[in-house]
Every structure is written in C-alpha cells, then in structure tokens.
Amino acid sequence: MNPIASHWTRFAAPWALPALVLWGWQADFWGWGLLMGLLIEARRLSSFRLDISPSDFNRFWNFNAILFVGVGLYLFIAREGPSHVSALVAGETPSGRLAGVKEISATALSFLRWLPFIFYPMVLAHAWSQTPRLPWSTFSLYQQNRARNHPLAPVPDWANRQVHPTYPYIAIVLLASTASTNHPGIYLSLLSAVVAALLWPTSNTRFQVLTRLGCLGGVLALVLAANQGLGHVRELMQELENRLLQGGGDQGFDQIRTFTALGNVGRLKQSGSIVLRIASTNSTAPGLLREATFNRFRAQAWSTSHREFSQIESASFGSRLWRRDSETQPTQALTISRHTANGSAPLALPDNTVAVSEIATVQIETNSLGSARLKEALPIAIYTAELGPNHLSTPAQPSEAEDLQLDGLSDADSEAIQQVALQLGLNRGTPHREAIATVEKHFASGFAYSLWQEPNRKSKAPSPLAEFLLNTRAGHCEFYATTTVLLLRTAGIPTRYAVGYSPGDRISGGWIARGRDAHAWCRALVDGRWIDVDTTPGIWREQEARRRNFLEPLRDGFSHARYRFATWRQSSNQWRLLTITAGVIGLGWLAWRQLRGSQWRGMRGTNAKPARSSSIPGLDSEFYAVVLMLERIQGKRLPHETLLEWLRRVVPHSHPYRTNIFEALQLHQRLRFDPMGLPIPDRSRLAKIADTLA
C-alpha cells in the first residue's frame, strides 16, 4: 500500500460532503456546496498529496483570517451597517431601534451564510496535504507571533495539541446552514440525519446495528415532533407581535394604522420642511399623491382591516417593478424622491399610476387596500411613477365589510352622522354619484377651513367629529375626509380614508411637497372603480401659504444643498467605494504577503549585538545575538560548558528551530576558527538565521 495513503488512513477524516450539500441546499448555494464537497472528498480516490509545511499552513490560516475580516467589513459597509448601529444606539423611537436591530441581524445572518466559503481554502489545502492533523498553534495569530519573536521560548501545552480541521469546519458549515429559513418543514430532520451520519462511526459497537438504528429513528421522530411544536411557537410569537404592534409603538405615520386621530395632521401642517421632490414631464401639477388607505374607524383613529403586506417583486435597476395596469399605456411620468427611514418609506403615488420603475430598492410591498412601501431602499429613494389618462382610477378590489361599517362610532359621532345624512336625504337608495355630489355641495357651503377647533366645554361627552359637523363647521382635511367617508357609507357607498400629500410649491423643473402639504381625502367605489373625493375647501392651500416663515427660503437653500450632496454621494457611492477600495488594497496586500511567505514584520535589529571592531576574526559574528537571547530565556552557560554542550542542554530535540540553531553554530565556528574565513554567501546565511532567531 502507498505509505502516504496508509498514513492517511490512520487519521481518517469525516465526510464533509453531506454537510456542504445541506448548507448549499438551505442557503441557495446548492451547486457550490456540491462542488466544494466533491473537491474535498476526491482526495479519498487519489494517493496524490501536497507537501505543505507548518509555516505554509500558518500563512493559509492568516489568509483566511484576513478574508474573514474583509468579508465582514464589506457586508457591514455595503448593507449600511453604520446607519443601522446609529439607529440602534441613538434611535429616537422604539420602532427605529427595532428596525436597526433587524437590519443588523440580517447582516449577521448574511455573514454567517458565507462562512463556509471563507474557511474553505484552509480546509481544502489540508485535505490534499500529507499532514494528518494540525497543532492548535496554527490557528492562533498570537502564538505565531510569539514563536517568531521568541523562537526558543517554551510552547504552551494547548498549542501542541492536534486537531483535524475538517471537524470544526463541518461544525461551521452546519451552523451556517441555520442562517436561512428555507425549507422549514424538513430542514431540522435533515440536519439531524447529517449529524447522526457524522457521529455514527463513533457509536458504541457493543450494541447491534439494529439497536443503534432504532435509537437513531426514535431521535429523528422526536426531532420531527419538535419541529411541529416550534412551528406553533412561531405562530404564537407572530400573533403576540401583531398585538403589540397594533396596541403601541411610534406615534407617527403608519400604513397599517394611522395615529393621526383628527388632529395630528394639523400639527404636521405647521412644518415647512420639504418631504417630496417631484419632477414632471409637463407643467401640470401632480395632484394628490396617496401614501396609504384605511377602511376601519375606531376611537378617532383609522386603521386597515388587514395588516399584512406582500412582496411584489425583487428590485432591479431600470425595470418596471410594479405594473398596476397591464392594459393602459403611460402618457406622463413623475420622478419622485424622498428620504427613507432605515431603508423604508411609503410610496407616494397618484391615483392614475400604471407602473413604478427606475428605483434602487430590494423590494416593494403592497397590501389589499393598495398602499405600497419600499423596503431596504437607499437613504434617498428616487422612483418614477408612470401615469395613464387623468380619468383613470384604480380598479376595485373585493369589497369588505369594513368599507361600509358604521357601528364602530361613538354615540355622539353616530348621532351626528345620522342627523346630517337625514338632513341631506342620504340613504341606501340614493344613486352613488348623486350622493357624492350632495355631500360635496354640503361641505362647499357654510364650512370653513381651520387647523384647530375650540373645545366645547359645555358638552358632557365632547366629540371633535360631532362638533365639526353640527357646531363649528370648521376644521382641516382630516375632519372633511372622515365625515365624507362616513356620510357616503350611509348611502351604501363603499368608502375608504386616504392620506398623502398635495404638492403646492413650484420649483425649477418640478414641484415640492412640504409637511404642511399633508392631506387627507375620501376614496369611493363608483361604477366598479375607486375614485378620489376631496371635500376640503380649496382655500386651504392659500391659508397654509400664509403660515410661511420668513426664514423658509434660507432653510430651503440648505435643504436643497444637503439633498444634492446626498444624492451625489448615493449615486456615486463615494464613501463606500473609497472605504471598500482602501480595505481591499490593505487586506489584499496582507493576504499577498502571507501567501508568498513574507514575515508580518521586516528585519529586526534591536536585539542584534553591535558589530565589534577588532582584528580578531569572528568577534562581530551575528551568532552572539542568538547567544544573548538564549541566555535571557534559559540562563547563562556554565563556566566549563562549550557552546555545543550548552546548546545540547537547553535546546530540546522537539524544538522547531533546533536545526537552524546548530547550523548557525557551525557557521559561527567556521567564522571564528577557519583560517580561510567564512565565504560571503555563508556569512549572509548566518546573518539571516540569526535575524530569524534573535
């Protein structure tokens, strides 16, 4: 038998192929996992082996360590790690901090999935080498550096212990396979089977094979049962999360439940900050840009009947990500840009949008009411809304009970709505368009626009909605939109509450929407299509314009400057490009030095004995630096000992540098006592060995 193959058999390696195939299948790297496993297992079919020295393995491991750091830094920077950490540490809201935690966790899981790739070069090199096992010192940069600086220092016991690298590598591969949620139904069972197969050779042979197989089958059955139990636990946790999200959280805009509750938009309208920038292909104003739609009214707050959002399509640059109407051809386009919060933002879209395109985002999500949002987008989201004819409106979705519901109103609100509906003659038999016209006419006469209402101190159960309808007859868009929705429902018209923006300021090349341009209106289902019904008095924009601050132009200038800088940096990815480039150059240089065998540090001369100027040959020998170093570690020579006897006593046979030390002694003695002296090449060799040892 081939001696190399026989020697290898004594240290049989575990089968890495099943673990790599499982990881590849679970992490969507199936082909890579199979190929990597086959390359490792192919060495069982060949007696060919590579002669790799311990120092070469050190360099392989150092290269893997550099690759580990490089991949980690790249993922951290490429996935906006600094901003997510900032959101986690300095986030102002619980939802912002939670989003930071989720993004950091996603980055960590991505890094975990790539670990088998990172450590594969080391394992593959060992698999095809003559070395059966490696000492733990190979995997310790500290021990490597200590051995270089103090080659004769005693080596710790743990550093000399041997390990087969394939075992920890398989553990890493199996751990990496848990980072993906694919195939949840059978993954745990397959993982258990792979682990059992790996541990089978170590099972107790005192028991019969059938007994061991029966025990293994019982364990797998328990795993299957546990997997089902974990599924139920996940469902319970999701339900708990839903309840927590519905009952609390950030008091800000939400596409699932709006906490604007008849007054919050009023506070928002005090802001002159720029929220949206819209570039149009013509001079026509953008109109209403809807961000969210709600159909359930409870306790002065609007919410959706279903909170689930579903992903539409993975993102790709320059493509139509969302085709809302496959038959209508676009006649106009709006390019809209806005800031995102941790990569997420609602999509503000006109009602006649037929497609959304030209956006750099990972995904778009939408719900059953037509609200859409971006996920994992860039800090500034820029997208194009392709528009159809102005008369186009969104096709109807299946109507739900919430679109007609009125039983969630308080007693005061219900009485006010029924009173006005009776006054206007609204009932289930009223034609839909006639009912809409009646409500629009009602609010167009005798109603005014106002941000605030004076509280009715005489009322025992004050209702802002009832006060608006029956007494003050003045309010902002939230009051008009809410009462319009509820009044039209009394006529049997399915209606919903919509929020978004109505841009009002013209700028060079387009329009802008400020905080005070936030708006709310009604959506009504007429003739099978949803249309916008806005009953807020048109004078509201003029009244809002009067609230401009004299410093607003200055703030706009700073806002435009920051926006241009942010888009320039984002479009060119300057900071990430520079950071990644610098990291690649630095880590690449270190990796190259390791692969070609260079030392981490250059020549060291601080411990070298200074050259002695003397006519006696050999007194300037570099070997004296080695002697001084040995005396510091092992103690001085005895008076009667020669250099050879002393070295035999203090340098053990197992020391890795014993051969070099005695070679240097021989060259030193030739330098001292050979009448012919020491040739220049041999003197250079002595200097090199001494520099390595000293």
pLDDT at residue 455, rounded to an integer: 53
With 70 as the cut, is the pLDDT of residue 19 above it?
yes
**pLDDT value, residue 176:** 87
**Model pLDDT for residues 152-186, shown as the tens digit of each residue:** 667 777 777 888 888 889 888 888 888 877 776 67
Angle at Cα 306 formed by Cα 301 and Cα 311, nearest 5°? 125
pLDDT higher than 80, residue 246: no
- Compute, in degrees rounded to 10, the torsion defined by CA atoms 387, 389, 392, 394: -10
Average pLDDT, the chain: 75
**Chain segment 377-401, per-residue pLDDT in tens:** 777 888 888 888 765 555 556 566 7
Q: Provide the pLDDT for residue 423.
A: 92
State residue 461's pLDDT score.
Answer: 46
Q: How many CA atoms lie within 13 A of 219 on its CB side?
A: 15
Q: How many CB atoms lie within 10 A of CB 602?
A: 7
The confidence score (pLDDT) of residue 212 equals: 64
pLDDT over 50 at 248, yes or no: no
pLDDT top residue among 113 and 546: 113
pLDDT at 9 over 80: no
Give the pLDDT of residue 494: 92
609 has a pLDDT exceeding 70: no
Residue 321 carries which side chain, given as an amino acid letter? L
Its sign, for the CA torsion 639, 642, 643, 647, is negative
Q: Would you place residue 111 in the very low, low, confident or very high pLDDT band (cuts 50, 70, 90)?
A: confident
Residue 1 is predicted with a pLDDT of 36
Instruction: Return the pLDDT at 432.
Output: 92
Question: Which pLDDT does position 599 carry in this prediction?
Answer: 42
Structure tokens given for 579? 């950071």
Which one, of 463, 458, 371, 452, lies nearest residue 413 by Cα? 463
More confident residue, 188 or 241: 188
pLDDT at 227: 58
The confidence band for 66, taking pLDDT boundaries of 50, 70 and 90, is: confident
Beta-carbon count within 10 A of 495 CB: 24
Residue 323 has pLDDT above 50, yes or no: yes
pLDDT higher for 582 or 465? 465
- Minimum mean pLDDT range among 328-332, 519-523, 680-684: 328-332
- Residues 6+ away with beta carbon under 8 Å from 591: 63, 66, 67
Q: How far apart are CA 667 and CA 675, in angstroms?
A: 13
**Is the pLDDT at 681 greater than 70, yes or no?**
yes
The C-alpha atoms of residue 441 and residue 424 are separated, in whole angstroms, by 10
- Distance CA(370)–CA(290), nearest Å, equals 10
Q: What's 166-224 look like in SS3?
A: HHHHHHHHHHHHCCCCCCCCCHHHHHHHHHHHHHHHHCCCCCCHHHHHHHHHHHHHHHH
CB atoms within 10 A of CB 257: 19
Determine which of 70-79, 108-117, 289-298, 581-590 has the lowest per-residue pLDDT on average.
581-590
**205 pLDDT tier (thresholds 50, 70, 90):** low
- Please give the average per-residue pLDDT across 188-217, as a whole number: 69
- The residue whose two tokens read 């806002």 is 559
CA 311 from centre of chain: 17
Across 22-36, 46-60, 172-186, which has the greatest mean pLDDT? 22-36
> Residue 398: its pLDDT value, please?
56
Sketch out the chain's domains with CATH numbers: 3-202 (no CATH), 257-399 (no CATH), 402-508+516-553 (3.10.620), 623-693 (no CATH)
